[in-house]
C-alpha cells in the first residue's frame, strides 16, 4: 500500500506528487483532520519534485563523512550513550 499527499479542488482530488497507477485503479481516500490540512502547500507536481531535488542536493552538499558506519542505526548510542542495538 502506498500513501500519497494530495489536495481537493472543486470536489476533485489531485495528487501533489507523480503517480504511475493505471486509470480506474481502486484507491482508498482518507481525509486529514483540519489542523493537519494547513501543512499541505498548494504547489504543482513539478514544484513538489523540484523541492525534493533541492533538499537532496543540500543534503548531499552538506554531508559529513564521520567514518562511523552505523551512525544512523545506532544514533542513540552515539548521542546519549545508550547500549548499541542488535543489528
Q: In the chain, what are the domain boundaries? A: 6-80
Structure-block grid coordinates of residue 22: 493505471
Would the pTM count as exceeding 0.75? Answer: no
Q: What is the rounded end-to-end Cα distance, in angstroms, of the chain?
A: 26
Alpha-carbon gap, residue 36 to 53, rounded angstroms: 24
User: SS3 of 64, please?
Assistant: coil
What pLDDT is recorded for position 9? 84
The model's pLDDT over 14-71, given as tens digits with 9 standing for 90+, comes to: 888 888 889 999 998 888 776 555 555 566 667 767 778 888 888 988 989 999 999 9
Amino acid at each position: 500500500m502506498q500513501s500519497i499527499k494530495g489536495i481537493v479542488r472543486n470536489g476533485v482530488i489531485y495528487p501533489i506528487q507523480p503517480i504511475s497507477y493505471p486509470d480506474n485503479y481502486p484507491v482508498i481516500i482518507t481525509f486529514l483532520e483540519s489542523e493537519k490540512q494547513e501543512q499541505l502547500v498548494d504547489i504543482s507536481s513539478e514544484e513538489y519534485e523540484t523541492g525534493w531535488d533541492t533538499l537532496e542536493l543540500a543534503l548531499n552538499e552538506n554531508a559529513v563523512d564521520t567514518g562511523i558506519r552505523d551512525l544512523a542505526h545506532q544514533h542513540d548510542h552515539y548521542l546519549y550513550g545508550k547500549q548499541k542495538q542488535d543489528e
